[in-house]
Chain A
Amino acid sequence: MGKKSIIPFGPQHPVLPEPIHLDLVVEDEVVLEATPQIGFIHRGLERLVQTKDYNQFIYVAERICGICAFGHSMGYAETIERLMGVEVPKRAEYLRVIWHELSRIHSHILWLGLAADAFGHEALFMHCWRLRERVLDLFEKTTGGRVIFSVVKVGGVQRDIDKSMLDEFISVLDGIKDEYIQICNAFLNEPSVYNRTAGIGVISPEDAWNLSMVGPFARASAVNYDVRMLGNGAYGDLSDFQPILSNNCDCYARMEVRAAEVPQSIDIIKELAARIPAGDIAVPVKGAPDIDAEACNVLEQPRGECFYYAKGNGTKYLDRMRMRTPTSQNIAGMAVALKGCDVADVNMIVLTIDPCISCTER
Chain B
Amino acid sequence: MKFESEFTPIALDELHHEAAVMKVDGWRFIQTHAVNTDNGIDLYYSFMKNGHIKNLKVAGVTKENPVPSITDLFLAAFVFENEARELFGVDMRDIAIDFSGALYAPAIDEPMTIITPEQKAAREKARKAKAAKEAKGDEASAPASAEGAPRIFVMTPERRQRLDAKLATMSPEKVAKVEAALKAREAEAAAAAAGAPARPQKPLRRPLPTLARLRPLLWKRLPSKPFRSTTTSSPRLRSSTLTRPRRCAPPSPPATARHLRQPNWRQGRRLRSSMPLSRTSLH
Contact = CB atoms under 8 A, between A and B. Distances in A.
Interface of A: 21, 23, 30, 33, 35, 37-39, 42, 44, 46-47, 50-51, 181, 184, 188-189, 191, 194-195, 198-200, 202-204, 206-207, 209-213, 225, 229-232, 236, 244, 246, 256-257, 259-260, 263, 287-288, 291, 294-296, 298, 305, 307, 309, 311, 313-317, 319-320, 322, 324, 328-329, 331-333, 335-336, 339-342, 360-361
A195 B48 CA distance: 37
A39 B104 contact: yes
Q: Closest 4 interchain pairs by CB?
A: A314-B126, A340-B262, A324-B31, A260-B280
B245 interface: yes
A47 B116 CA distance: 10
Contacts of B28: 209, 212, 225
B167 interface: no
A50 B116 contact: yes
A309 B44 contact: yes
17 contacts: A35-B245, A42-B104, A51-B222, A188-B278, A191-B275, A195-B269, A203-B260, A211-B76, A212-B30, A230-B1, A231-B2, A291-B127, A298-B48, A305-B30, A329-B31, A335-B251, A336-B253
Given A291-B127, A324-B30, A336-B260, 10 more contacts: A23-B244, A184-B282, A188-B278, A206-B256, A212-B29, A298-B3, A316-B212, A319-B35, A319-B123, A361-B104
Interface string B222-263: 100000000000000000001011010011011011001111
Interface size classification for chain B: 35 or more
B176 interface: no
B102 A37 contact: yes
B262 A35 contact: no
B280 A44 contact: no
A205 to B, nearest CB: 11
Contact of B31 (A37, A213, A307): A307
A232 B242 contact: no
Contacts of B275: 189, 191, 194
Nearest to A181: B282
Contacts of A33: 250
Contacts of B257: 207, 336, 339
B174 interface: no
Nearest to B212: A316
A328 B33 CA distance: 12
B15 interface: no
A216 to B, nearest CB: 12
Given A232-B1, A322-B33, A335-B251, A50 B272 contact: no
A236 B1 contact: yes
Interface in B163-203: none
Counting chain B CB atoms within 10 Å of each CB, the highest count among A21, A23, A313, A315 belongs to A315
Interface string B84-102: 0000000000000101001
Contacts of A315: 119, 122-123, 125-126, 209
B279 to A, nearest CB: 7
B278 A189 contact: yes
Given A47-B111, A181-B282, A307-B46, A231 B1 contact: yes
Nearest to B243: A37
Given A21-B242, A319-B35, A199 B271 contact: yes
A22 B1 CA distance: 43
Counting chain B CB atoms within 10 Å of each CB, the highest count among A51, A206, A230, A360 belongs to A230
A127 B79 CA distance: 36
Nearest to B108: A44
B252 to A, nearest CB: 11
A305 B3 CA distance: 14
Contacts of A213: 76
Contact of B126 (A46, A195, A295, A313): A313
A313 B123 contact: yes
Contacts of B12: none
A256 B279 contact: yes
Contacts of B253: 336, 339
Contact of A320 (B36, B122, B250, B282): B36
Contacts of B245: 35, 37
A335 B97 contact: yes
A360 B103 CA distance: 12
A291 B122 contact: no
B265 interface: yes
A213 B80 CA distance: 14
B65 interface: no
Given A207-B254, A236-B1, A314-B130, A198 B272 contact: yes
A314 B134 CA distance: 14
Counting chain A CB atoms within 10 Å of each CB, the highest count among B28, B31, B206, B254 belongs to B31
Contacts of A335: 97, 251
Given A203-B260, A331-B79, A296 B46 contact: yes
Contacts of A329: 30-31, 76, 79
A83 to B, nearest CB: 12
A305 B127 CA distance: 35
Contacts of B125: 315
B87 to A, nearest CB: 8
A263 B282 contact: yes
B268 interface: yes
Contacts of A30: 264
Contacts of A342: 265
A19 to B, nearest CB: 11
Contacts of B44: 309
